[in-house]
Amino acid sequence: METEITLHINGAERRLAIDTRMTLLDALRERLGLTGSKKGCDHGQCGACTVLIEGRRANACLALAVAHAGDAIVTIEGLGSAGELHPLQRAFVAFDGLQCGYCTPGQICSAAGMIEEAEAGWPSVVSEDLELPQYDLCDDEIRERMSGNLCRCAAYANIVPAIASVARRPARVSA
Amino acid sequence: MNPFRYERANDAAGAVAAHGAAAAAAYLGGGTNLVDLMKLRVARPETLVDVARLAHDRIDVLPSGGVRIGAAVKNSVLAADRTIRSQYPMLSGALLSGASGQLRNLATTGGNLLQRTRCTYFADVSKPCNKRDPGSGCPARTGYHRTLGIFGISESCIATHPSDMAVALAALDAIVRVRGASGEREIPLGDFYRLPGTEPQYDTVLEPADLIVAVDLPPNGFARSSLYRKARDRASYAFALVSVAAALEIEDGRVREVRLALGGVAPKPWRATAAEAALRGKPATEASFLEAAEAELAHARPLPDNAFKIALARNMIVRALCDLAEAA
């Protein structure tokens, strides 16, 4: 059934008439030309569609667009641009954190959200102490916290150090 | 996906009224399970009543010392809550061992309780399934069942409940607060889920328009010394083959209080009451823990490909209790 919604994408308001069945991912890709977010499994299992909703990483393939009208949404296109790459984008280039690149936008959006979570003091299931004020992102923490992003090329060996280079940088300026 | 009408509720009463007035309505929380099931045409609601933005998004310490968790609180927020982490570590641990960071940011407390089984036949509309299509049959008994149940199953259904969170809530004697057409009521978590019997289509005792508004954790003296352990086919981001939520209170070398619940083994979070009864008052030793685990597992009814869960559950129970006893 048709409905009109306003989405807040990368700081801009976008008014759309959509079918209620349309996912946020399809709205981004098919209606707004934002094809950075990728459709991998379309069932929340691969993480290629990861975007930030109200600052938190989420699977756009399982989010109905109509249910996220009014939410502030940031996609890979909003994190950085060709002229001014996000630190995570620079790190993925520097560390060769990809092969085919299809999962990369989701990996980078997920990593951006994940780093904020650790800084906010959110533990993970591999954290030995659940009550620390903040969590340092050792390789095991990065692997666990990024387990919702699959890479079929298995570029993990370079993805982990790419993320670590940003997560462990002192006095990081948040994007 | 079926066409559906979308309605955003302003408050609980409005949500219940909107649900009650519509045919084939469903409440929408984070949508991480429901939207997926709609894509698969397993769920075909004609109206979605969105309750993710209701004001049930707080975690409050109650005057009794217990905690009230709003139904719309996200799984990630609940796992990271300072009170939950320090007073109910098994609940944080259970939440953090489930799904992925992205999914936990969408999924709600109420929705987590109501997620459906991940039995492969349930999710595949080309196959019979008594839970999805009552009376159509169950191919799992003679088919793929290594992930399915060993307790509480029936001839008609051997599916397991997939939630990790609910296993911890079962061990903690949580109370589910529900708003229905005739007002609010409380359902102890132990009474909330039903076993399949001959009607596996009903996972819970909820009536169609019932809305979960909160989950209460009663105060207790043991949950601080608790943990959640999960065995799965890969190191992260997979459902439990077996999981254990355990709490232990020891006095003068003997078990004063113990809570044990198992996940991945039954159509509901499986409170190991036989093991608990066998342990109270006993010496807090590995031998007692093993005896208690075996008392529970004597009731298991495994199938050929999931019999490994008995040894796995036994070892996980013993190890969890030994670790809690050592830390005490």
> What's the CATH number where B16 sits?
3.30.43.10
Yes or no, beta carbons of B106 and A1 under 8 Å apart: no
| Domains assigned to chain A | 2-79 (3.10.20.30), 87-167 (1.10.150.120)
Which stretches of B131-249 are DSSP H helices? 165-171, 189-192
Give residue B16's domain range. Answer: 5-50
pLDDT band, residue B324 (cuts 50/70/90): very high
CATH code, domain carrying B304: 3.30.390.50
Say yes or no: A1 contacts chain B, CB-CB below 8 A: yes
Q: Give the closest-approach CA distance of B101 to chain A in angstroms.
A: 6
For residue B197, being part of any structural domain is answered with no
Task: Express as a percent the part of chain B with pLDDT over 70.
Answer: 100
Q: What angle do CA B116, B122, B126 make, to 5 degrees?
A: 150
pLDDT of A172 > 50? The answer is no
Q: CA of B32: which chain A residue's CA is closest? A: A62
Q: What angle do CA B235, B237, B243 make, to 5 degrees?
A: 70
The answer to ipTM > 0.85 is: yes
What's the pLDDT tens digit per position in A111-164? 999 999 999 999 999 999 999 999 999 999 999 999 999 999 999 999 999 999
Yes or no, beta carbons of A56 and B105 under 8 Å apart: yes
pLDDT of B281 > 90? The answer is yes
pLDDT of B274 > 70? The answer is yes
Find where tokens 């359902």 sit.
B187
Q: Which residues of B touch A148 (CB under 8 A)?
A: 99-103, 237
What type of residue sits at position B85?
R
pLDDT at residue A170, as a whole number: 64
For residue B286, being part of any structural domain is answered with yes
pTM of the model: 0.97
Residues of B with CB under 8 A from a CB of A: 1, 3-6, 8, 28, 30-32, 35-36, 38-39, 48, 50, 52, 76, 79-80, 82, 85-86, 89, 92-93, 96-97, 99-103, 105-106, 235-237
What is the number of domains present in chain B? 2
Q: CA of A109: which chain B residue's CA is closest? A: B102
For residue B25, being part of any structural domain is answered with yes
pLDDT band, residue B204 (cuts 50/70/90): very high
For residue B202, being part of any structural domain is answered with no
Average of per-residue pLDDT across A36-47: 98
What's the pLDDT tens digit per position in B12-52? 999 999 999 888 999 999 999 999 999 999 999 999 999 99
pLDDT band, residue B154 (cuts 50/70/90): very high
pLDDT band, residue A173 (cuts 50/70/90): very low
CA A115 – CA A118 distance, rounded (Å): 5
Burial class (CB in 10 A: 0-12, 13-18, 19+), B46: middle
Average of per-residue pLDDT across A15-28: 98
Enumerate the β-bridge partners of residue B175.
B188, B216
Q: CA of A66: which chain B residue's CA is closest? A: B6
For residue B244, being part of any structural domain is answered with yes
Yes or no, beta carbons of B31 and A64 under 8 Å apart: yes
Yes or no, beta carbons of A125 and B97 under 8 Å apart: yes
Say yes or no: A42 contacts chain B, CB-CB below 8 A: yes
Q: Any idea of the CA torsion for A129, A135, A139, A141, to the nearest 10 degrees?
A: 60
What type of residue sits at position A14?
R
Provide the number of CB pairs (under 8 Å) joining chain A to chain B: 112
pLDDT of A171 > 60? The answer is no
For residue B248, being part of any structural domain is answered with yes
**Residue-averaged pLDDT of chain B:** 97
Distances (CA, A) of B237 to A68, B96, B115, B323: 25, 10, 16, 24
For residue B230, being part of any structural domain is answered with yes
For residue B88, being part of any structural domain is answered with no
Q: Is the dihedral of CA A131, A134, A136, A137 positive or negative?
A: positive
Q: Which residues of B touch A57 (CB under 8 A)?
A: 101-102, 105
Yes or no, beta carbons of A56 and B52 under 8 Å apart: no
